Structure 1
Amino acid sequence: MATSPRHQPSPQQPAQHPAGQSQPGSQPPGTAPGVQVPEGYVLAPAPRKKRFVRRHPVLTLVGLVVAVVVVVQLAGGSGEVAPASPGPSSGASDAGEPGTDAAPAEDAPAGVGTPVADGAFEFVVTGVEPGVARVGDEMFGADAQGQFVLVRVTVTNVGDSAQVFDASAQSLVDGQGRTHSADSGAAIYLPDANSFLTSVNPGNTVDGIVVFDIPADATPASVDLHDSLFSGGVTVALG
């Protein structure tokens, strides 16, 4: 006797749950292990990381580099590079070759017999007599503290008004660089001195003697001549 096949039970189908809801007893993705999510609770999808966020620092750095390049180009103007200045020629200035810029030498002072001018006066030193112990005669005269130096000078007024030639405006420098003033008191014992407040009219010339009392071991080096106490003066070498 044929038997009817037994009814085979269909496999049990899993319960359907709405999309986005977690199944009972299941562990939703993105939750920590052991954390139970109530049935029917909808989990928001995990935010997707954007690649732009990761690339943002690199793009920022690139932008800064581009900005710096633009600023440098704008500041550079035409962009032409100035030619480098030529370096010093090797040993040219040390060797004193022609064409090098040498420091100009100072003008040497005029000497005896050379005309020089200061203000309204033109001077010519005509002679120097050092080592004089006394000026004047036996009755009326003056003895030197060290030695008298007699500087003979011709004075011409080249101005347009009278000018006084005065020994007190003149000075002498010795070989050690010391400056000595004139001795007007001793000059009065020389009748032809013409160096004490002597007025010289325009165009006139007088021959005078300026007396200096300097140490016995000193050597006269130069004399500074002035047309007045307040003029610049001019130097004449005596050596």
Structure 2
Amino acid sequence: MDFSLPQECSSQEDPPQECSPPESPALESLLQKIPQQACPPLACPPLACPPRPVKVVYGTRNTFWHAESLPTFHEICLHSSQCPKKHWLYTMFHGTTYAAAVEIIKHGFKQSADGMLGRGVYVSRDIHKAMKYPLNNDPRKVVLKLRVNVGKVKKIDYPNHPLQKTWNAHGYNTAWVPPHTMNPSGQEEDCVFNPQRIKVIDIVHGNPDDVKKLKRLLHHH
């Protein structure tokens, strides 16, 4: 059984690759033997948290987070250039304002009406990218640490990709822009169509007082 790091996803011209986790009757017993490794509390440096096979039993929206209940579950932080696996849970980040963060924690994310990848919620594995947002001089910027069930992922890695804004209509749940491809910043970015695939798990950057207030609010939600 191969537990090596995932390879790059296919581009549009390549044969389809779903990057699915390995399947085996002995998978669960093998996972029990793999030592737990926790993610760093703030960022996810390259290879700090090697991916472990945690497969989501997918059915309704309530099973987006089924893997969290497994004894073998732990956070997975992918390097920006690593291809995500179908239906796996990954740590990502979202930069926003304090006021918007309060609404997100209380009521969940809402789709952006448009953007480079069309409708959806824009997030990134790269905390440094998230720290740039929003792109204004708001003094109360914060960064939310997220857990994301990526579902079925489409790699969008060049400008004017035929599915750049229509990937969801073709059955994909997340669009992924690898670093140094089509994003002007050169940084990795993801667009998740369904906001219910994203949950806030921590607040990792911002004014200390704002972070403390948001953590308290998150604890009560």
> Could you tell me the TM-score, scaled by structure 1's length?
0.21
The structure that has the greater radius of gyration is 1
Q: Normalized per residue, which structure has more helix?
A: 2
Asked which structure has the greater RCO (Cα within 8 Å, sep 6+), the reply is: 2
What's the TM-score once normalised by structure 2's chain length? 0.22
Task: Answer 1 or 2: which has greater strand percent.
Answer: 1
